[in-house]
Amino acid sequence: MAYKPTNDRILFFSVVFLTIFGLVMVYSASSVVASSQHGMSSYFFMRQLVHAALGFAFLIVVMNKDYHVWQKPKVLLVLLLCCAAVLAFVLTQPKINGAHRWLRWGFISFQPSEVAKLILLMFIAAFLHKYEDQINQPLRRLLPFGLVIAFFAGLIAIEPDLGQAVIICMITAILLFIAGLSWRYIGGAAVLALGVFYFFVVKVPFRWERIKSFVNPFHDPLGSGWQISQSLTAVGSGGFSGVGLGASKQKLFFLPEASSDFIFAVIGEELGLIGTSLVAIGFLVFFFRGIRIILRCPDRFGFYLGLGITLMVVLQGFINISMVLAMMPTKGIALPFMSQGGSSLLMNLIATGVLLNLSHHGLHEAAE
C-alpha cells in the first residue's frame, strides 16, 4: 500500500488560528499608537502581516524538509558559527529601547536571539541523540556541552535580554533531566543559578524593582508598578465577554507595549474571558499535539527536537500570560504567534514547520 505524506492538521490549524487571531489583535492594540507615531494606523499590522506571510512560506518549505538534515554535523556547525557571529555583531549596533537586540534595515528589523533558540534546540537534540548514555560524564561530555549553551545564553543576556537567556537555560535543563542527568549536577546547576540571579537581578536596580512590583503590584502604581497595574486593570475591565473588539481604553497610551508583550491584557479587556480562554485553548492544543508527535518520533533526535520546540512555544506562552496576570515578574517575553514582533512570529512558524515534519515521519512509521 502506497504511503501518502501526512502532517498533523490539528496542530497546523491551531497555529493558523493563533496567528490570525494575533494579527487581528495587533491591529486593534496598535492602531492608535501607529497612527500617532507613523501617521498610518495599520503600520504595525502591515509589518506583522508581512512576517506572517514569510513565516507560513518558510513553514511549508521546512515542513517538507527531512528533519534529519538539521542533525548533520557540518550543517549544525555552520548554523552555530553564523549564529554566534550575528549575536556578536548585534552588540555593536545602536541601542533600541535601551538594548542591542535588533538588526535593522529600514522597514525590516530582526532579533537574532529568536534564531539562536531554534538553532540551539537542534544542537541540544543532536548532542543528546549521540551522547545520551554519556550525559553524566562531567569533563568529557557535560562540560563542553554546558560551555556552548553558556556562551550563547551569555551573548543574549548581555544584549541585555535576560528573558530569552532564561528560556534557553530552562529548556536545556528540562531536556537534560529527561535525558537522565544526575541529581547532583542538577543541584550544582541550581546553586549556580542562584549566583546568576543575584548578579543579574538583585544587583541590577530596574530588574529588582520588577521583583518588588511582582510581590506588590500596587506598591508604586505610578512608577515601577505602572505597567503591571495597568495590565491588571485591562484584564479586570473585560469581565466575561469584554468591552468589545477595538474598544480597549488601556491601549490608549496607558498600557506600555500593549501590542507586543502585553497583548494578552488587551485581549482580556476587549474580548474578556471568552477571548483569553480561546488563546489558552490554542496553546493547550499545541502542547498536546506536540507531545503526541514526539511520542511517535522514530529516533531520539526527533524526540528531543520536537520536545524542545513544544517547550519553547508553550513555556513562552505560559510565562507571558503569567506575567500579564502578575503571577510572575514582568519580563520582555512575547506571546508566541500573537505578540507584535516579526522575528518571534517568523521563527515560531519555522519551528512549527519542523514539528510538522516530525509528525510526518512519526505517522509514516506508524503506518508501516
Profile the chain (368 residues) by mean pLDDT over runs of 10 residues.
61 96 94 86 91 95 93 94 92 79 74 93 95 88 92 90 90 93 88 84 79 74 77 90 89 85 94 95 96 92 96 95 88 90 93 94 55
Count how many Cα atoms sit within 13 Å of the Cα of residue 120 in the half-sphere of its side chain: 30
Measured distance CA(91)–CA(156) in Å, rounded:
9
User: Is the separation of the CB atoms in 151 and 169 below 8 Å?
Assistant: no
User: Is the separation of the CB atoms in 346 and 113 below 8 Å?
Assistant: no
Any domain includes 241:
yes
| Grid cell in block for residue 343 | 522575528
What's the maximum distance between 2 C-alpha atoms anywhere in the chain?
A: 68
Task: Give me the sign of the Cα torsion angle 291, 295, 299, 300.
Answer: positive
Any domain includes 3:
no
Any domain includes 1:
no
Any domain includes 2:
no
H/E element holding 183? helix 183-197
Cα–Cα–Cα angle for 36, 38, 39, nearest 5°? Answer: 70
In this prediction, residue 107 carries a pLDDT of 60
Q: Which residue range(s) make up the domain with 97?
A: 9-367
Any domain includes 16:
yes
In this prediction, residue 56 carries a pLDDT of 96
Q: Which residues are CB-contacts of 341 (< 8 A; sequence separation ≥ 6)? A: 48, 111, 260, 334
Any domain includes 345:
yes
Any domain includes 4:
no
In this prediction, residue 364 carries a pLDDT of 53
| Grid cell in block for residue 297 | 518520533
In this prediction, residue 177 carries a pLDDT of 93
| Grid cell in block for residue 243 | 468591552
- What total number of domains does the chain contain? 1
Any domain includes 223:
yes
Measured distance CA(65)–CA(229) in Å, rounded:
46
Which residue type does 255 have? Answer: L
